[in-house]
Every structure is written in structure tokens, then in C-alpha cells.
Amino acid sequence: MIVLSASRRTDIPAFYMDWFMEGIRAGGFQVENPYNGRVSRVPADPGRVAAIVFWSKNYHAFLEGGYAAELLERGYRLFFHFTVNSPHKVLEPGLPDLDERLHQVRKLTELVPPEAVNWRFDPVCWFRNGRGEVQNNLADFVTIAECMARAGVSTCTTSFLDIYPKVRRRAQLEARLEFMGVEQEKRIRVLGRMNQVLKSLGIRLQVCCEKELWEALGLQEGIRPGACVSHERLEAIYGPLALSHRRDRGQRSAAGCGCHESRDVGSYRRQPCGHGCLYCYGNPVRAEGRCGKGGGP
């Protein structure tokens, strides 16, 4: 049995569900390796797939298109990562307003057990705008957390922005904005405040690929390292699934990634994301203006 990831590489629920359903109906996907270009077949029939893990910042097309009903009728078990950050048109220009996305959270938890929906508030970042003002994207964290709690969502995954060179260049070229590194002590304070809010609402906080930070925190805060694809969590929700429980060697284990094996069916190149998120690691730099790819889910 395998887990399908749809997808770390692009936002399939927002932009490519027709393509995804073609693969589901055909019983498999032809997937290009992003590093060497080799194409392999990934099986997708319900007898081989333990669960499908979706990643998105906007589930409108997924919900309105009736895709969930067909997948559930075919016998697939579904898990949803939903990235909902404080709205900021410079950082995430291609998203609907916050109220619409929070409504989508409630719709998702009507389709599957609430434990099968994970909220990602990711990444937390600081930046200096063209006027020299320092800002961050934490403003609506409490509002979003309260909505997630009302919907029954019980986990929140977060991390701090990794400022890759191309992310830095893109911010300067496209928005005259400078992403700022933040010292560990400040990150610890911010995580502590986030955790206080979440604990009061019954939500557990997890950190994604933040090994040094988590080790510095220790266990006293109750914050745990995250596994975005967790075989244990899937089996806690859906029962025994005959999964391997092997770690995914293709992920950032040295940085603290705890993910188990999955097969990703998306493509950076063939399926560019349309959200245009300024900080996305998969978003290329284009000096002529904002490109159409970005906003990695």
C-alpha cells in the first residue's frame, strides 16, 4: 500500500483536479522525477492506495467540482493539508479572501473526520517594505486559530521562512521587499505565544523542518516536530492500512522532517502553481514582473 501526495510540488486541488481525476480513473499517473527527468508510473487504484494526502491554499475548485464525492465513492481515504496564513496581497496575491478560505475549512471537515484536516500556518516571515517598515504575517493568527478550533481541526503545523537566494532576489525584483532573517531567541518567543493560543483552543502545535529550533525548545512547551505525511496519523484515523512506516528519504530528514514514504504525483515544471506567492521555493525569478508560478502548498 502507498500514500499519494497531491502535491508538494504544485497546488493540485486549486488548479489541476481534472488532470488528477484522469489519473485516478486510469488507475495510475506518469510522474516525472524533478531532479533527473525520468518518468515512472505511480499506481492509483484504490486497492493499492492507502490514502491521498492533498495540499492546497484554496480548496474552492475541489469543493465546488464534486471531486471529493467521486473519490470517496471510489473508496479512497482522504487527508487535507490546508495552508491558511494571514492575508497579505504582496506575499500571497493569488488567493481569495480569508473568510472564503475559512468557510472551506468547515466544508472539508464535513467530508472527512476533522482529524484528517491539518492547518498549516506556514511560513512565518518578517520583511522590510520599500518604506523601510518591518512587518510580519502573524496578524490574523488568533482569528484563524479560533475558526480552526470551531471546525474541529486539532493540529497546526508551522515553520519559519527559509530565505533561499532566488526568494531574496524575487522579493527585491517583484515587490521591492526584503525578507529578514530572525534570531533563534525571537523564533522561540513567537512559537511560545502561538502555542499558548493554540493550547487554549485544544490545538497541538507542530514544527516542520525546524530541528535546531525544536531541540532548543525541548519538551517543556509541548511543541512537537511535524510529519506532514504520517502513517501513524493516517492509521489512527482510518484503522490499519498495511503501510511501511519507513521514513521518506527524499525529504529533508537532516532538517527534522519526520514524513513517512509517499509518492508525489505533481510537477513543478508541467503544472505551475497560479497563486504567485512571493516566498515560494518553487517559484522562479522573472525580472519582467510577477510570474504565474508560486505559493507552494
| pLDDT of res. 42 | 98
Per cent of the chain over pLDDT 90 is: 83
> Could you say which DSSP state residue 10 is in?
S
Q: Rounded to whole angstroms, how far apart are CA atoms 14 and 16? A: 6
Which helix (H) or strand (E) is 136 found in, with range? strand 134-136
| pLDDT of res. 220 | 60
Q: What is the mean pLDDT of residues 247-269?
A: 91
| pLDDT of res. 284 | 64
For the stretch 227-240, pLDDT in tens is 999 999 999 999 99
Taking the complete model, does pTM exceed 0.75, yes or no?
A: yes
| pLDDT of res. 297 | 52
**Residue 39, pLDDT above cutoff 60:** yes
Rounded (5°) CA angle 248-242-26: 80
> Does residue 77 contact residue 71 with C-beta atoms inside 8 Å?
no
For the stretch 69-112, pLDDT in tens is 999 999 999 999 999 999 999 999 999 999 999 999 999 999 99
> Could you say which DSSP state residue 206 is in?
E
